[in-house]
Chains A and B, each alone.
Chain A
């Protein structure tokens, strides 16, 4: 949340006689022990994203319990991370039998599980393996922690989020306000790349990113970026492409050793933190995320969403688009549509 929102929230607190839960949390933000108990579960905690993500979530004082699950390696990761002198109690869970315990009582479930891309692969190439993993993890979530907010990182997000929705529906526990595809890394990249070209302090930059989470389905809205900069059409086009190909940029730099892990952990931690703040009643928490949506004719779409006690409080519209962005929007819809359908078909077919 930005300074203006914080200042107005504090002002609101002073002028009312009842202390709203939100401003209470803001004023007491530094007494970590008085923040509500929150359990965060990471499915895939021993992997390339999972480990640094576990570290960052361990450092977050809003977390009181951190459950680390994976098919192997989690006792070691948990032992490591548990030594850090921060609030949360850490438990490692390995193997299917322990998945239920890892999930019970969770407020937020972050899912980085699965295999990463290698050079030459698209996110869709991961589909077969990761679809199966996501499906079985979601079956467990439906059983053990259907009320948790689910933060989906496993690619291809454009398909794995619809997969999750279908699994939850067939178990009668689907709540569209509680299922998120994490697109924060696209936002992070858009901000970083824009700050470079606009010569702006990166900490002050905001850029919404809408659509989906793969190639051209990623649509950064630089026309809405702040602070404003007079960038030429060529620069905007280049920035757009670079944001869309950001993941591939890292896959190639890693030359077979994986995809973005550290920046993904960073982005995942930011989004989970936003979800926690929303759950805790902090007002005006807005992040871009891939959610069930009526903003377009597609059933799922990423846009700004306001987060609150039940997950999505409000899906915000796209705002005004430039001509270039309007074209980009129409161009991305067919691919996004087919990725969504592929995910749905995967569950319905099996």
Chain B
């Protein structure tokens, strides 16, 4: 009898270096000879791309020269690494979702439940999460699902977590900007990150709660005050901007979706979202009109969905997909896959701003390397847009920092 589809992988990797094969193809070829092939059609989710990354372009930021050399050496060993890397995923990671009963949380929890990399899935919310957990617990995938309701149970939901995903908060309604959410969501994020600091300070933290441009700095301040801040482990999830850029460009230019990858830098709101169309893979030419239209569409895509939903909410399903993809990428990085690149909003030295989204390499400790070449060779349009976004992004960051510094952090 058919062994029904159980687990599937939604991650995406850009294969740095040669076009030998991104993770998904490796997984596929091993799958042919092993038993877990029943999800071959779902494996097609991975937007497999090959992007040539010059070794020299990898920067480990403030790390020492020795670490830098290590990353060169790692690249040289890339081929060996890949063949040594145990491509058959086994469930071994613990993920906590804070806000699991919400519009994003529920489909996100489903996708994480379907991941072959996860052994434990803890679902936390202020209400309704017991039903979500019961529902998901019936799925025949490896992870054990547990529900945690209310602040008194928040600590237990976090203990032992490798990754904590935070979609908690309220969504936009038509006419609202992301900043309008600030007051409500800022408090929520602060409380949740305090608990992360107390219960699983080594976890990777994925912030989805908007406005990310501010909530990530809020999280950083909370973690600093608790003395556990590790800038390599705090991420604002901007994957949806990349996903949208890929979709819109592929549609507009009639490209095969599976080939398309576009880096998106800056922040995660309106004009702070900067898709670098000039760096589209595969290489494609855009006229000025296309650049403007596509850039605007990518920047306003969130609003596009808020308006289409006419008061019923903001992007939930596509956000769940993007966030789940970023979770999978992070887990593969934790697992030792040497080939995982995603764009994310992190503490950064790439510009004068303390936080900035760009393409990063994910590894066993979170952010392993930056790709500073991403800011080289920008078109005039992109250069202008980059300068134009900085003031707004700076203000949002400062708003987040100020929010925490004005209030005491619960010890």
Contacts and interface: CB of A to CB of B under 8 A. Distances in A.
Interface of A: 1-3, 6-7, 10, 26, 29-30, 32-33, 51-52, 54-55, 58-62, 73, 75-87, 184-185, 187-189, 191-192, 195, 201-206, 208, 246, 249-250, 253-255, 257-258, 260-263, 265-266, 269-270, 273-274, 276-277, 284-288, 304
Contact of A85 (B32, B37, B257): B257
Contact of A55 (B42, B107, B134, B308): B107
B139 to A, nearest CB: 5
Contacts of A51: 107, 316-317
Given A80-B308, A266-B114, A203 B2 contact: no
Interface stretch (B188-196, B243-251, B338-346, B374-382): B243-251
Contacts of B43: 30
A79 B309 contact: yes
Contacts of A266: 110, 113-114, 139
A55 B317 contact: yes
A263 B107 contact: no
B111 to A, nearest CB: 8
A320 to B, nearest CB: 14
Contact of B317 (A80, A246, A287): A80
Contacts, number: 208
Interface string B27-47: 010001111111011111101
> Nearest 6 A-B pairs (CB), nearest first?
A254-B131, A61-B44, A76-B309, A253-B134, A79-B308, A3-B35
Contacts of A6: 32, 37
A3 B35 CA distance: 5
B109 interface: yes
A12 to B, nearest CB: 14
Interface in B72-122: 106-107, 109-111, 113-114, 116
Interface of B is mostly: helix
B156 interface: no
Interface stretch (B5-13, B209-217, B356-364, B395-403): B5-13
Contact of B142 (A3, A201, A254): A201
A284 B38 CA distance: 12
B107 A52 contact: yes
Contacts of A185: 138
B309 A285 contact: no
B312 interface: yes
A208 B1 contact: yes
Contacts of A265: 110
A82 B315 CA distance: 11
28 contacts: A1-B3, A30-B44, A51-B316, A52-B107, A55-B107, A55-B320, A60-B41, A61-B45, A76-B312, A79-B304, A84-B243, A84-B247, A85-B47, A85-B243, A86-B45, A185-B138, A191-B140, A203-B36, A249-B134, A250-B131, A253-B134, A262-B135, A262-B136, A266-B114, A269-B5, A274-B2, A286-B2, A287-B2
Contacts of B258: 32-33
Contacts of B24: 30
Question: Max chain B CB contacts within 10 Å: which of A73, A201, A253?
Answer: A253
B239 to A, nearest CB: 10
B144 to A, nearest CB: 10
Contacts of A189: 138
A277 B34 CA distance: 20
Interface of B: 1-8, 10, 24-25, 28, 32-38, 40-45, 47, 106-107, 109-111, 113-114, 116, 128, 130-142, 240, 243-244, 246-247, 250, 256-258, 260, 301, 304-305, 308-310, 312-313, 315-318, 320-321
Nearest to A27: B32
A52 B324 CA distance: 14
A206 B321 contact: no
B135 A254 contact: yes
Contacts of A86: 44-45, 257
B50 to A, nearest CB: 14
Question: Max chain A CB contacts within 10 Å: which of B7, B247, B315, B321?
Answer: B321
Given A2-B38, A3-B37, A60-B42, A250 B130 contact: no
A80 B3 contact: no
Contacts of B107: 51-52, 55, 262
Contacts of B256: 33
Contacts of A58: 317, 321
Contacts of A61: 41-42, 44-45
Contacts of B10: 59
Contacts of B130: 253-255
